[in-house]
Amino acid sequence: MLDDARILVTGGCGFIGSNFILHLLERYPNAQVVNLDKLTYASNQGSLRDVEGDPRYRFVQGDICDGELVDGLMAEVDVVFNFAAETHVDRSLMEAGSFIMTDVLGTHVLLDSARRHPNVKRFVQVSTDEVYGEMSPGAWAKESDPLHPRSPYAASKAGGDAQCNAFFETYGLPVIITRAANNIGPRQHIEKMVPLFVTSAMRDEPLPLYGDGRQVRDWLYVEDHCRALELIAREGESGEVYNIGADNHEENIRLAKALLQLLEKPLSLIRFVEDRKGHDRRYAVDSSKLRALGWAPRHDFLSALERTVRWYQKNSWWWEPIYAGPFRDYYQRQYGDRLASGAPYDPEGGTPQ
């Protein structure tokens, strides 16, 4: 499926997409990769500088909503991985239109093109565990569970997933949907919690922890995610959904403390700030279906976190320019008032109510 394949990766200048392209080119010497990326604020061409001159790799700047452009590329490939998406929950709370455009309409444009190109033998839709919504303690989402997206971001991804299902049922398009847990690792935009906290701590800036900091996420190392996607593309069944979870569940406060320890920075950098609206308390997926294919994560929570922290320490060239650009305005809007009224961490008093 992937050995001599011509592969279209959308959103390849984003976090998971760029890691996946590097993974593919390393693992499959005869594969050819086309990266279609719009170069939004979340893209970083520096992520792929090591493969820029590789004859097996081609970059095309463009939007997955551009049907003509997509048709041209679709005619040339055997496999599609759709990573292109607006992904940040906090931004979706400010403005959700771009999420609907890319995550719903863009996915539709890709699917509609793929169904008219029988050369496409596999379409992998890279989705998220957030489409299941918040999980109560002890509950684990299975692939067959109904979707209960609670943020505009999650709702847009659920819309994309629904399109995929419709194209499988209606046209027999060989689509597979994957739903992964929170990823961490190299090359993630600093708007997301882990890289924001790591780089803030390195700059001796406060770490804005939402609410009581007791929300739980499952932290999947991006390389483990890439191996899962590779396996699913090869061995998965069309029309199926595969959850990808590492079982590295941790509360945000514990994660913040662990990363400050790794960086040898004081816990006093933690600030409890006003919570995110509609903040999902816990995500958890049951990934036994994927594990039955032979996948297991290689990184536990601490190993994933330590590798991530060390990468940001070594690669300030990658993230420092982001702080100097339009991110500053976003940061001010998102965190200015919150930090001004936030409460510092008190080791005696625990977390605020």
Q: Which residues bind ligand TYD (CB under 6 A)?
A: 89-90, 182, 192-193, 196, 208-210, 215, 217, 252, 276
Structure tokens at 228: 């899962």
Residues in Cβ contact with 335 at an 8 Å cutoff, skipping those fewer than 6 apart? 208, 273
Do 140 and 78 form a contact (C-beta atoms < 8 A)? no
- What is the spatial distance between Cα 105 and Cα 141, in angstroms, rounded to a whole number? 26
Handedness of CA 256, 226, 99, 140 (dihedral sign): negative
The nearest distance, CB 205 to ligand TYD, in angstroms, is 12
Which candidate in 37, 57, 143, 153 is catalytic? 153
The nearest distance, CB 58 to ligand TYD, in angstroms, is 31
Smaller CB separation from ligand TYD, 102 or 252: 252
Which candidate in 103, 129, 161, 230 is catalytic? 129
To the query of whether residue 161 is one of the catalytic residues in this protein, the response is no
Which candidate in 63, 78, 90, 130 is catalytic? 130
- Tell me the β-bridge partners of 180: 128, 244
The nearest distance, CB 220 to ligand TYD, in angstroms, is 11
* Distances from the Cα of 189 to the Cα of 14, 25, 73, 143, 267, angstroms: 8, 22, 27, 28, 23
- What is the spatial distance between Cα 22 and Cα 43, in angstroms, rounded to a whole number? 15
The pairing of strands 216-221 and 241-244 is unpaired
Smaller CB separation from ligand TYD, 33 or 126: 126
The nearest distance, CB 63 to ligand TYD, in angstroms, is 23
The nearest distance, CB 252 to ligand TYD, in angstroms, is 5
Do 103 and 91 form a contact (C-beta atoms < 8 A)? no
The nearest distance, CB 39 to ligand TYD, in angstroms, is 22
To the query of whether residue 130 is one of the catalytic residues in this protein, the response is yes
- Tell me the β-bridge partners of 272: 209, 343
Do 351 and 213 form a contact (C-beta atoms < 8 A)? yes
Residue 178 sits at φ, ψ, to 5 deg, of: -115, 140
Smaller CB separation from ligand TYD, 43 or 151: 151
Smaller CB separation from ligand TYD, 257 or 276: 276
The nearest distance, CB 272 to ligand TYD, in angstroms, is 9
Residues in Cβ contact with 240 at an 8 Å cutoff, skipping those fewer than 6 apart? 143, 176, 177, 289
Smaller CB separation from ligand TYD, 68 or 204: 204
- What is the spatial distance between Cα 353 and Cα 350, in angstroms, rounded to a whole number? 9
To the query of whether residue 4 is one of the catalytic residues in this protein, the response is no
237: nearest Cα among 302, 329, 143, 170: 143
Smaller CB separation from ligand TYD, 230 or 250: 250
Identity of the residue numbered 197: F
Smaller CB separation from ligand TYD, 178 or 252: 252
| Cα 70 to the center of its chain, rounded Å | 22
Catalytic residue ranges: 129-130, 153
